[in-house]
Amino acid sequence: MMREDICSIPVSEVFEPKDGCPLCRLRDVLEERMTDYITGAAMMEPDVRIDTNQTGFCHRHFQKMLETGSRLSNALLLESHLKRIETEIFLLGQSKTPGKKQWQQAEELEHSCFVCRQVEWGTLHIVETLYQLWQREEEFRTLYRSQPFFCLPHAALLMKGAQKQMTRANTAEFIRVTAEIAGNYLTQVRKDITHFCSMYDYRNQGGDWGTSKDAIDRAILYLTSYPVPKKKE
């Protein structure tokens, strides 16, 4: 059985750095822990291997597993996963021809990822703790208000979850603060994008770019929660 402590991170560790979106940071830590676990200790845990064989991984997490684990670990994971596809989807070695059920399984596999599922579970678990801290501790509310920004996907996740898991008395203020933090950053990025565009007007040649030079990267990060990959030199 997969160890739950892999997805357990103190909320303070996520929010105290005050550098970027705290939930993006949480996701990155969970992804790193999970890919390290999958290509390491989990290789010797049969129940986890059965689950990964069934679920598979997305392209993003295959890449991270290659960065984290050995080539052999990744090859062993791929071998058993591919064998499962051979027998359960293509029905190789059987007298049957793949039908609707098998092609539905193939389509589902395209959007299935063991790491994504575990990261989502870990994130929601920690967000539940976040809601409790907001309702109990003024110190945490102060820390929350001091965050530089929340990306759009994580701001939406926080506000949606608050309506279901917080008391009515706390929900309105939590949503107001979250929307204010995410909205203020949105306005800042939008202004920088506008300024970036204006710098291509011949009338502004030689002008001050201000904070707009990396505006495209920041806008994409805000909208998707993922940074723009760095170009290989």
- pLDDT for res 24: 98
Q: pTM of the full predicted structure?
A: 0.89
Per-residue pLDDT of the chain (233 residues; tens, 9 = 90+): 455 577 788 999 999 999 999 999 999 999 999 999 999 999 889 999 999 999 999 999 999 999 999 999 999 999 999 999 988 898 877 767 888 888 899 999 999 999 999 999 999 999 999 999 999 999 999 999 999 999 999 999 999 999 999 999 999 999 999 999 999 999 999 999 999 999 999 999 999 999 999 999 999 999 999 999 887 76
- pLDDT for res 98: 83
Q: Which two tokens stand for residue 130?
A: 């976040």
CB atoms within 10 A of CB 218: 20
Q: Which two tokens stand for residue 206?
A: 């030689």
Instruction: Say how far apart CA 110 and CA 204 lie, in whole Å.
Output: 47
- pLDDT for res 233: 62
Instruction: Say how far apart CA 5 and CA 25 lie, in whole Å.
Output: 17
- pLDDT for res 3: 55
- pLDDT for res 4: 59
Instruction: Say how far apart CA 132 and CA 182 lie, in whole Å.
Output: 21
Q: In sequence order, what DSSP letters do the residues of 136-204 get, joined into one string? A: H-HHHHHHHHT-S---HHHHHHHHHHHHHHS-HHHHHHHHHHHHHHHHHHHHHHHHHHHHHHHTTSGGG
Instruction: Say how far apart CA 102 and CA 90 lie, in whole Å.
Output: 7
- pLDDT for res 198: 97
